[in-house]
């Protein structure tokens, strides 16, 4: 796939279709790739990489990149990235005419933290070998099943289909059933209110307020976040007490409700490994149950049940009547 | 040399905790640990590093500095400071141990930060050698030897326990009531363990990292380098690197009106944040490129320039492990060093 992508990128650069390419740049230890913009074939030959660790969702960068008066930029989007891009498009945050989209298939991305959790460290290189990764380390070679170190969000993948693209590389996939995705939420729903409260207090109290979840989130695109605005009265750089961090995450989850595409970037970047995606996924599940299945990023956004009214909409009392669920 | 058997660690810490509060690294999940107050039986993490650094003990993320209350047309000043309790932090690695010296240069030089000083005076550092350094480690680039950390008491780890050396008066006092748990062994095992650690460090991927291109006096050479643009382009402007960093020391001071009184507190700030050093008249760093550059110039140029050549990084590698987009000081150093060779 990497070679196909590089070849296509160079062709589109050469024929003038695009002036830039956003992709991933090679790192120091083979898993630490960085999103990067490439402008020449030489740069692509030298640094462009696409492998199991290129999980970062580059859609959000396209807000900035598509605003530039510098021709079109080529972006390779995995299905989940394409949902994010489409949602940004629905919110008029990206300029479609300045982006050339190539949909790439995705079999799931690896999570280096899960490799480390298996007790592997001192990593000097990682190679794919059939269904395994062979991890070279200063303490000897290790072998892990690729399926065992997939990111959480990939285990709960909602779709292998690209809702938006200009062309596709490889085979297009299909939507996947939601039951796996909502299993974690169902577990939380089965708890008593006290257990659930304790669960979230314990998770959210780890928060260091680095804002990585917010800054990486493709649904968080305010020019100036309320938490960064000293005039708001609630601007905060560090939590004054545990209540603060709790509120920060709850307010954020409310703000992206109906717009979150469940790309899982929030949980990927959290240095404290807080399962933030569960908050957003609870909203998605509730919306599905109250208004019928809706996937943000699937279309132009006009059907977003939280911002459009129909006579059949659930009344507020429905939530109460449903009891604890 | 004194030796503590692994099987005696719990008894040792239990006895130590009778004299002062002990904090130990505890696994929250595999490969992720945090410092917790030790209670008898608390399982001590075998991991290399805590997610957050040990600086939190001396420079907490938030703290109240002073309060003001209006009573009968008078403003009463509330001082929240009390003498800190005696405590010890166990299992601190050489990188974090060096970071305290760096923070001292900031907080203990005039005017002395009495909040920080209070905690420093009451805190003992019990350091441990590294048996299994990670690929993200590069402390040796800054002259740190993970086989011989600084600290009040050094624990040199082997398979079955720790060789123990007090390095300060405080360290000797700490060990005095704990002698019964220690046995005498010759130094051979300690020397072997140290040699093993040093041999591993040489094999790590970042072993050859060079600092030659950086240091005091390099501002003019590095400030306008074109590479800052591409290095910073993917930065999402979060504060992860600064908040897990053992040497990042910037803070903001704000007032909070509780309704009854005003509390003036400080909290960590991050040069990666858009309102960092925002002041009357504007913000000196308007783009992420400038904020990004500030972080690395501070550690690699400004800090050594103002502190006798000492770098403001200890190579702990936390930022390498936690940056959402894997941009970090090592990539910055390599990129800028390369460019310099060509010039």
Domain extents for chain A?
2-108+156-168, 112-149, 183-321
pLDDT given at position B343:
44
pLDDT given at position B20:
96
Distances (CA, A) of B251 to B62, B242, B274: 9, 11, 14
User: What is the SS3 assignment for B338?
Assistant: helix
Which is nearest to A64 in space by CA: B237, B223, B332? B237
pLDDT given at position A324:
45
Identify which has the larger pLDDT, B312 or A178.
B312
Which is nearest to A79 in space by CA: A170, A172, A208? A172
B302 touches chain A (CB under 8 A): no
Average pLDDT over residues B38-47: 95
pLDDT given at position B168:
97
pLDDT given at position A88:
96
Which segments of chain A are extended strands (E)? 20-25, 34-38, 73-77, 99-103, 123-129, 132-137, 142-145, 167-168
Query: What tokens does A296 get?
Result: 């943000």
pLDDT given at position A325:
43
Give the best residue of A51, A124, A238 to mutate against chain B (max B CB count within 10 A).
A238
Which is nearest to A62 in space by CA: A39, A82, A48, A34? A82
Question: What share of chain A in percent tops pLDDT 90?
Answer: 78
Q: Helix/strand/coil (H, E, C) string of A223-247?
A: CCCHHHCHHHCCCCCCCCCHHHHHH
Phi-psi region of B126 (alpha: psi -120 to 50; beta: other; left: phi over 0): beta
pLDDT at B340 over 90: no
In sequence order, what are the residues at sequence separation of 6 or more whose Cβ sits closer than 8 angstroms to the Cβ of residue A196?
Answer: A188
Average pLDDT over residues A299-306: 82
B189 touches chain A (CB under 8 A): no
pLDDT given at position A238:
63
pLDDT at A49 over 90: yes
Average pLDDT over residues B104-115: 96
pLDDT given at position A242:
65
Question: What does the mean pLDDT of chain A come to?
Answer: 91
CB burial string A114-131: b at 16+ within 10 A, e below:
bbbeeebbbbbebeeeee
Question: What does the mean pLDDT of chain B come to?
Answer: 94
B239 touches chain A (CB under 8 A): yes
Question: What's the rounded Cα separation, in Å, for the pair B249 and B251?
Answer: 6
| Residue A319 binned pLDDT confidence (cut-offs 50, 70, 90) | low
Question: What's the rounded Cα separation, in Å, for the pair A2 and B306?
Answer: 47
In sequence order, what are the residues at sequence separation of 6 or more whose Cβ sits closer than 8 angstroms to the Cβ of residue B289?
Answer: B228, B229, B232, B233
Choose the closest CB to A240 out of B30, B265, B324. Answer: B265
Between positions 89 and 128 of B, the ones with CB within 8 A of A are none
* Beta pairing class for A142-145 and A132-137: antiparallel
Residues of A with CB under 8 A from a CB of B: 27-29, 32-37, 56, 61, 113, 116-119, 121-124, 137-139, 206, 208-212, 214-216, 224, 228, 230, 236-240, 268-269, 271-273
Query: What tokens does A32 get?
Result: 């630490």
Residue B53 backbone dihedrals phi, psi, to 5 degrees: -85, 175
Give the tens place of pLDDT for each residue, A53-64: 999 999 999 999
Distance from CA of B211 to the nearest CA of A (A): 17
User: Rounded to two decimals, what is the model's pTM?
Assistant: 0.93
Element (H, E) at B267: strand B262-268
Contact B51 A32 (CB under 8 A): no
Identify which has the larger pLDDT, A320 or A5.
A5
Choose the closest CB to A117 out of B30, B230, B320. Answer: B30
Distances (CA, A) of B337 to A246, B209, B233, B331: 43, 10, 19, 10
Partners of residue A28 in chain B, C-beta under 8 Å: 135, 205-206, 320, 330-331
pLDDT given at position B280:
87
Query: What tokens does B23 get?
Result: 């904090």
Which is nearest to A77 in space by CA: A92, A87, A67? A87
Distances (CA, A) of B343 to B242, B337, B338: 31, 10, 9
Average pLDDT over residues A241-259: 85
Choose the closest CB to B331 out of A28, A138, A268. Answer: A28
User: What is the SS3 assignment for B291?
Assistant: helix
Query: What tokens does B173 get?
Result: 């006092």
Give the tens place of pLDDT for each residue, A229-248: 877 777 666 666 667 777 88
Query: Is B214 exposed, middle or buried (CB count within 10 Å of its CB: 0-12, 13-18, 19+)?
Result: buried
Distance from CA of B107 to the nearest CA of A (A): 20
Average pLDDT over residues B123-127: 98
- Angle between the B94-107 and B114-122 helix axes, to the nearest 10 degrees? 140
Cα dihedral A313, A314, A315, A316 sign: negative
Q: Please say whether the beta carbons of B325 and A34 come within 8 A.
A: yes
Contact B326 A139 (CB under 8 A): no
Give the tens place of pLDDT for each residue, B212-249: 999 999 999 999 999 999 999 999 999 999 999 999 99
Question: What's the rounded Cα separation, in Å, for the pair B186 and B23?
Answer: 29
Contact B326 A209 (CB under 8 A): no
pLDDT at A323 over 60: no
Choose the closest CB to A121 out of B61, B132, B268. Answer: B132
pLDDT given at position A227:
85
Give the best residue of B59, B93, B243, B291 to mutate against chain A (max A CB count within 10 A).
B243
Partners of residue A216 in chain B, C-beta under 8 Å: 236, 238, 324
ipTM of this complex prediction, to 2 decimal places: 0.92
pLDDT given at position A236:
66
| Residue A322 binned pLDDT confidence (cut-offs 50, 70, 90) | low
- Angle between the A193-204 and A242-256 helix axes, to the nearest 10 degrees? 100
Residue with tokens 């200009």: A166
């Amino acid at each position: 796939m990497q070679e196909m992508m590089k070849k296509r990128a160079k062709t589109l650069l050469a024929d003038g279709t695009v002036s830039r390419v956003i992709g991933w740049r090679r790192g120091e230890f083979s898993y630490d790739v960085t999103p990067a913009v490439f402008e020449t074939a030489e740069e692509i030959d030298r640094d462009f990489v696409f492998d199991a660790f290129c999980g970062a969702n580059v859609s959000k960068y396209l807000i900035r990149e598509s605003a530039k008066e510098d021709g079109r930029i080529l972006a390779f989007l995995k299905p989940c990235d394409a949902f994010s891009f489409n949602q940004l498009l629905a919110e008029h945050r990206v300029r479609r005419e300045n982006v050339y989209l190539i949909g790439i298939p995705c079999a799931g991305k690896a999570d280096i933290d899960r490799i480390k959790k298996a007790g592997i460290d001192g990593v000097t290189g990682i190679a794919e070998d059939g269904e395994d990764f062979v991890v070279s380390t200063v303490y000897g070679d290790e072998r892990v099943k690729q399926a065992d170190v997939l990111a959480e969000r990939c285990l709960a993948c909602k779709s292998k289909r690209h809702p938006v693209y200009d062309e596709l590389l490889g085979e297009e996939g299909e939507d996947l059933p939601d039951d796996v995705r909502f299993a974690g939420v169902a577990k939380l729903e089965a708890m008593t209110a006290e257990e659930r409260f304790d669960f979230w207090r314990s998770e959210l109290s780890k928060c260091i307020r680095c804002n990585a979840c917010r800054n990486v989130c493709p649904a968080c695109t305010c020019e100036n976040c309320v938490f960064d605005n000293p005039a708001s009265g609630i601007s905060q750089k560090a939590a004054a007490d545990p209540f603060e961090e709790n509120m920060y995450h709850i307010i954020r989850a409310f703000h992206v409700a109906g717009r979150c595409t469940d790309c899982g970037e929030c949980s990927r970047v959290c240095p404290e490994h807080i399962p933030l995606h569960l908050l957003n996924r609870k909203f998605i599940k509730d919306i599905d149950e109250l208004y019928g299945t809706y996937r943000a990023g699937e279309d132009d956004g006009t059907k977003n049940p939280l911002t459009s009214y129909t006579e059949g909409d659930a009344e507020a009392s429905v939530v109460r009547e449903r009891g604890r669920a | 040399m004194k030796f503590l058997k692994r099987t005696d660690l719990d008894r040792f810490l239990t006895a130590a905790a009778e004299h002062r509060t002990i904090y130990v690294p505890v696994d929250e999940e595999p490969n992720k640990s945090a410092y917790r107050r030790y209670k008898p039986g608390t399982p001590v993490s075998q991991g290399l590093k805590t997610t957050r650094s040990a600086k939190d003990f001396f420079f907490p993320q938030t703290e109240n500095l002073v309060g003001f209350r209006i009573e009968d047309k008078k403003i009463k000043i509330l001082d929240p400071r009390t003498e800190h309790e005696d405590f010890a932090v166990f299992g601190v690695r050489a990188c974090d141990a060096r970071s305290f010296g760096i923070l001292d240069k900031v907080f203990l030089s005039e005017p002395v930060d009495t909040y920080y000083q209070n905690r420093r005076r009451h805190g003992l550092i019990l350091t441990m050698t590294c048996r299994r350094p990670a690929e993200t480690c590069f402390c040796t680039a800054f002259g740190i030897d993970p086989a011989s950390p600084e600290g009040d008491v050094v624990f040199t780890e082997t398979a079955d326990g720790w060789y123990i050396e007090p390095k300060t008066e405080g360290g000797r006092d700490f060990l005095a009531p704990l002698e019964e748990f220690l046995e005498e062994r010759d130094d051979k095992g300690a020397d072997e363990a140290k040699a093993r650690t040093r041999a591993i460090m040489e094999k790590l991927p970042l072993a050859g990292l060079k600092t030659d291109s950086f240091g005091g006096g390099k501002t003019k050479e590095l400030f306008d380098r074109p590479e800052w643009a591409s290095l910073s382009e993917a930065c999402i402007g979060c504060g992860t690197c600064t908040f897990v960093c053992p040497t990042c020391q910037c803070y903001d001071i704000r007032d909070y009106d509780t309704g009854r009184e005003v509390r003036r507190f400080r909290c960590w700030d991050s040069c990666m944040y858009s309102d960092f050093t925002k002041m009357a008249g504007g913000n000196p760093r308007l783009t992420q490129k400038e904020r990004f550059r500030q972080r690395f110039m501070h550690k690699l140029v400004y800090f050594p320039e103002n502190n006798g050549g000492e770098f403001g990084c200890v190579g702990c590698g936390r930022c390498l492990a936690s940056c959402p987009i894997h941009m970090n000081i090592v990539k910055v150093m390599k990129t800028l060093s390369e460019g310099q060779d060509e010039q």
